[in-house]
Amino acid sequence: MADTQTQSVDIPVSSEVFVHAFEQVPVPLALLDQLGRWLVANASMREILGTRLHPGDDWLLCLESPDEVALAQKAALDGEAQTQIPVQWTASEQALEALASLRRLDGHEPRLLLSLQVLPGSLTPGIQDTVTGLIGHALFMDRLNLAMARQRRNRTELSLMMVSVDNLVPIGAQQGPSIADAVIQEVASRIQSCVRRSDSLARLGGDSFALLFEEVGNSLEAIALAGKIFDALRQEVVLDEGTFSLDVSIGTVMARGEQETWQLMQKVDQALYQAQKNGGNTYELVV
């Protein structure tokens, strides 16, 4: 199988140094065509994936979000900064979790260079939330940094939102952690139903969610999104164990000009705090 996977491929860099480094570097690497099909993998990648990897196959064999792959692939082909995607393979009854990054290599034909950052153990909260399946804080911040760079370059606007289920802790204390998990899963599902597939939704932990909306036209559009999510979350959650009303606070900010990521996060924290200070069950916009 190793001989098949190291077949001759038109690597878009003529330097023998590149070819040697590609094969010997300890980072798992693969070259893909523009359609995302495997062309060749280096020794580190072959060691990880073994017989699961075949030239001509689609990449990321066990992915649940093909839309996210398409967005990352388009960004790489357009020369954007690398986009990291959580991926998982299962081989020999063991799961491999990793972050996949793509970048474009120019040559006779554009190629995509796939690299993996392998994560030890199970998926961590910073990458993927184990209760909801949403991305976690670390991956969300990576996407926010990339979005902020695009926003400054293209002079567009984006909106950042934080959502808090303020009475989740009392629900968990009274009903137990399994009920709290079921409630938070329903919250995640309702928020997802209100946003576009291109938007980023993350669970930051506990009762908090963060949302990133790119290409938001103005503050009125941002506040309309907040209202839509608020209305969806204020409906009672009906479970076999009972019916629960949620106390929801939402803070929203608009990113404009030359703000830094930490400044935007500080502002959205302030907006959420203001909503909670006003008694909760409301949403606040900070321009």
Determine, yes or no, domain membership for 131: no
223 in the same domain as 111: no
Indicate whether 96 pLDDT > 70: no
Q: Which two tokens stand for residue 252?
A: 């929203």
Which of 19-23, 53-57, 232-236 bottoms out in mean pLDDT, i.e. has the lowest?
53-57
Residue count (the chain): 287
Answer yes or no: is pLDDT of 1 > 50: no
Same domain as 194, residue 273: yes
More confident of the two residues 112 and 236: 236
Instruction: Tell me: do 88 and 223 sit in the same domain.
Output: no
- Alpha carbons 22 and 98: distance in angstroms, whole number: 19
One domain, residues 19 and 102: yes
35 pLDDT above the threshold of 80: no
Three-state secondary structure call for residue 120: coil
Residues 6+ apart with CB under 8 A from 227: 283
pLDDT at residue number 114: 83
Same domain, 212 and 106: no
Using 50, 70 and 90 to split pLDDT, how confident is the model at 94? low
- Average pLDDT over the chain, rounded to whole? 79
CATH number at residue 27: 3.30.450.20
Q: Are residues 107 and 142 in the same domain?
A: no
Q: What is the pLDDT of residue 122?
A: 41
Judge whether 114 lies within some domain. Answer: yes
Where does residue 155 fall: left (phi above 0), alpha (psi -120 to 50 degrees), or beta otherwise?
A: left
Based on the fold, state whether residues 188 and 88 are members of the same structural domain: no
Q: Is the pLDDT of residue 143 over 60?
A: yes
Give me the residue label for tokens 């009125």.
Answer: 220
Rounded Cα gap, residues 1 and 115, in angstroms? 21
pLDDT for position 137: 80
Dist CA 46 CA 229 (whole Å)? 44
Q: What's CA 102's distance to the chain center, in Å?
A: 14
Residues 6 or more apart in contact with residue 225 via CB below 8 angstroms: 159, 161, 194, 195, 213, 216, 252
Residue 78 lies in a domain: yes
Residue at 184 is within a domain: yes
Q: Is residue 181 part of a domain?
A: yes
Domain boundary among 59, 84, 119: 119
Domain boundaries, position 11:
2-119
Give the CATH number for residue 151. 3.30.70.270
Q: Is residue 129 part of a domain?
A: no
Are residues 95 and 147 both part of a single domain? no
Domain boundary among 92, 119, 146: 119
Residue 88 resides in a domain: yes
Residue 123 clears pLDDT 50, i.e. is over it: no
How far apart, in whole angstroms, are the C-alpha atoms of residue 152 and residue 155? 5
Q: What is the CA radius of gyration of the chain?
A: 22
Q: Is residue 45 packed enough to be buried (19+ CB in 10 Å), middle (13-18) or exposed (0-12)?
A: buried
**Residues 48 and 141 reside in one and the same domain:** no
For 11-15, 92-96, 139-143, which range has the lowest pLDDT when averaged over its residues?
Answer: 11-15
Spatial CA neighbour of 54 closest among 36, 73, 41, 69: 41
User: Which phi and psi angles does 205 have, rounded to 5°?
Assistant: 120, 150
| Cα dihedral sign, 133-139-141-144 | negative
Dihedral sign (CA 118, 120, 121, 123) = negative
- Lowest average pLDDT, out of 86-90, 107-111, 214-218, goes to 86-90
Q: Is the pLDDT of residue 212 over 50?
A: yes
Q: Is residue 265 part of a domain?
A: yes
What is the arithmetic mean of pLDDT over 210-229? 89
Asked if residue 210 and residue 95 are part of one domain, the reply reads no
> Does position 8 have pLDDT exceeding 50, yes or no?
no
In this structure, the answer to whether residues 26 and 109 fall within a common structural domain is yes
Last residue of a domain, one of 70, 92, 119: 119
C-alpha of 153 from chain center: 21
- Supply the DSSP symbol for 58: B
Task: Check whether 89 has a pLDDT greater than 80.
Answer: no
Asked if residue 69 has pLDDT above 80, the reply is no
Count the domains in the chain: 2
Does residue 207 share a domain with residue 170? yes
With a cut of 90, say whether residue 100 has pLDDT above it.
Answer: no
